[in-house]
Copies of this chain bind each other. A is one copy, B any other.
């Protein structure tokens, strides 16, 4: 069926490693191979697809357009291979093996650890991989098994559970208020230091839409890193949005202008095929339960 015989699938793995590391040697180190072997793999793949994939130089390999065009396919292969191994890990009946979770930076770093700690205490053989990033990972491409999402799951073949809305309010650290005073009106905000987003990822663009009420306001501290923003706020650099349930845990944070409120609708999503897997099922349920109790903190209003 194939004309001269399909190239080895291992070549794709090597190809991706070279693409990611930028050199034969670095790729070889990562793969546990040697540099000549990696070079041979690339040679063979180039001959198989009939195109130059890299322009060789002594400080590394520069990918050609053809190589960049193939990159997403190679990434899908890697994701799928990893997902296959995850699916194979652990036994069919017991809760064991690896499950990979994707969540936003804030949720992943501030909220999930406690939930997952409890889960792992209950199931000692369960291995959790947590990807805390504001770039949405694709469940259909098996980049993760379970995701906590702030956007409604549009795709079919995904099993999703609606959690509710996480409310965000304006907060500042006590030390900031002591130094700069407390803004009592929306207009007063313009005279304060505001903390906000920098780069535009898909996730942040969605956030910005909800922030539109403050369009005129300019941020004096920007970062595309949610955690950096959180730390800046807690360090007293300025005023920014903060998840209410999180703020309730930290008495040194002051709630400002309580009438300003944003809400993030939240879902837990899993690939349908995984619902028969005990470890995924159990993790899914734990995330749903944990996030529900987390959200409960929204209802109790904090006195300023």
What is the interface of chain A, defined by CB distance below 8 A to chain B?
1, 5-10, 12-13, 30, 32, 49-51, 65-66, 69-70, 72-74, 76-77, 80-81, 83-85, 87-89, 91-92, 140-142, 154-156, 273, 276-277
Contacts and interface: CB of A to CB of B under 8 A. Distances in A.
A80 B88 contact: no
B87 A70 contact: yes
B84 A12 contact: yes
Contacts of A74: 84
Contacts of A141: 140
Contact of A6 (B7, B85, B87, B140): B85
Contact of A8 (B10, B49, B80, B84): B10
B51 A88 contact: yes
Contacts of A1: 30
Copies per assembly: 2
B84 A66 contact: no
A76 B83 CA distance: 11
19 contacts: A1-B30, A6-B81, A9-B12, A49-B85, A50-B88, A51-B88, A51-B91, A65-B92, A66-B92, A69-B92, A70-B84, A70-B87, A73-B80, A73-B81, A73-B83, A73-B84, A77-B80, A77-B81, A154-B155
Nearest to A46: B88
Contacts of A87: 69-70, 73
